[in-house]
Chains A and B, each alone.
With several copies, the nearest count.
Chain A
């Protein structure tokens, strides 16, 4: 049911964990729907220098989390903000229809982390 890319990111997730002294942290999802994603970022000069995730969720939730960290590392905040859940799903060669809504939240977590950073930075 999952693409090879999804399975690759699921079996070898990139950037698992929590960034130390994170510039921003975003958490989305809830236990009822079965997916919780927590993304932490380190921002320097408006560039995402480091990013890590922790995720409680299904294969799609973990793979999208992993993929989004790969997609944003080294990107400017502007670039990162343009990444959508659809971008992430596409980068994974698609997700099963049933997974498109609930488990495809990684970009939301990223945006929440950026927002958190901006709030803290007083931007």
Chain B
């Protein structure tokens, strides 16, 4: 059966060039980068080259990068790191209702330690209101953490404007850029962000890798204490092959982003238009323009998302509802609920997230098979009768 992967926001395949960059460090170049002998030297060099490349993607200085094992670790490190470093100054954090669980659950955990979090609402486009953000800042506010691009809808938040507000009020600003990195240009310097998280496996790098940009001067309590790695900011023997791979992935992203972005948005728009033409009662979720080029989030009224996914899977199409982390769970998407969708509509959403390998043929195949799937599920739905 034909297999089509429309779930690139969940994870991406490792680029063959990335794997090539990793392999030496899974074979002969196995030394510990902290070792002074021959076996360690090339490992050390690989880390520094990987660092150079990731820094080029983020436009930051080498000393400003901490390697992590995932986007989730980066988010935890940034948020807990600032919270504990600044707890004398205040205990208030501002984030949004549409963040990834890595941010939401970290804030929830911090509540047990006396921190308070304001979760900003979003409008029906998935956008926050900057005036509400401004009004939410109090003298006790130590951190704003707002994602760059939403993983479920692809909505891009106004990071530059948020950064300006944060700077004017002297509040540390973290952005979870896990979904943005590799898909749209990032510039840590221009954005007034203090901290920025990325994850390797979302940009054709290996799982188990990530990085946290931490602007020079930002105080951060380490999440993982240990040896002198990464200037005492993250203990643990470095994942050398992973870092080499992440570096290569960053390099490739820089090189290909523009071209790919144009291609993907064409395909994505075709999906949205093609499905809307053929299937009644559907709704594209998220801001029309301020969106990642690759993401389509569509609610199919009267039916539930997982059953659509299972049907798609039986036809060889991989897609998801909500984030991969929450599929398997029964809660409707917190992101779509925050955007004002009903429970039914939130449950009935499917995310198609495109990537390098996708072709126009893939998209036409989806448009061809989807109407019958939706119709079949609707015919079984007790909610559908009235709408006919």
Contacts and interface: CB of A to CB of B under 8 A. Distances in A.
A and B touch in the complex (CB under 8 A): yes
Given A33-B330, A57-B307, A59-B306, A38 B343 contact: no
B328 interface: yes
Contacts of B44: 1
Contact of B302 (A7, A38, A56, A59): A56
Given A59-B306, A96-B328, A34 B343 contact: yes
Interface string A31-52: 1111111100000000000000
Contacts of A27: 382
A62 B382 CA distance: 12
B304 interface: yes
B343 A35 contact: no
A86 interface: no
A31 B344 contact: yes
A31 B343 contact: yes
B347 interface: yes
A10 B381 contact: no
A13 B310 CA distance: 14
A71 interface: no
A60 to B, nearest CB: 8
B26 interface: no
B46 to A, nearest CB: 15
Contact of A98 (B314, B328, B347): B328
A56 B343 contact: no
B304 A61 contact: yes
Contacts of B380: 13, 16, 53-55, 62
Contact of B382 (A10, A13, A38, A101): A38
A1 B382 contact: no
B126 interface: no
Contacts of A61: 304, 307
Interface residues of B, number: 25
B307 A1 contact: no
Contact of A59 (B310, B331, B379, B383): B310
Nearest to A58: B306
A64 interface: no
B132 interface: no
Contacts of B305: 58
Contacts of B331: 34
Given A32-B343, A34-B343, A56 B304 contact: yes
B343 A58 contact: no
B105 interface: no
Contacts of A30: 343
A116 to B, nearest CB: 15
Nearest to A65: B380
Contacts of B343: 30-32, 34
B342 interface: yes
B36 interface: yes
A106 to B, nearest CB: 13
B307 A59 contact: yes
A3 interface: no
A2 B313 CA distance: 13
Contacts of B329: 98
A31 B347 contact: yes
Interface string B340-360: 001110010000000000000
Contact of A57 (B41, B304, B314): B304
A85 to B, nearest CB: 15
A5 B108 CA distance: 39
A10 B304 contact: no
Interface in B296-338: 302-307, 310, 314, 328-332
B330 A36 contact: no
A7 B310 CA distance: 9
Given A1-B36, A56-B303, A16 B379 contact: yes
Interface of B: 36, 41, 44, 302-307, 310, 314, 328-332, 342-344, 347, 379-383
10 pairs of A and B residues whose beta carbons are closest in the complex: A58-B306, A31-B343, A54-B382, A38-B382, A31-B344, A56-B381, A34-B347, A102-B330, A32-B343, A59-B310
24 contacts: A1-B44, A1-B328, A10-B307, A11-B314, A16-B380, A32-B332, A32-B343, A34-B332, A34-B343, A35-B304, A36-B383, A37-B382, A56-B302, A56-B381, A56-B382, A58-B304, A59-B306, A59-B310, A61-B307, A62-B307, A98-B328, A98-B329, A98-B330, A99-B330
Interface of A: 1-2, 7, 10-11, 13, 16, 27, 30-38, 53-59, 61-62, 96, 98-99, 101-103
Given A2-B310, A103-B330, 6 more contacts: A34-B343, A55-B381, A57-B304, A61-B304, A62-B307, A96-B328
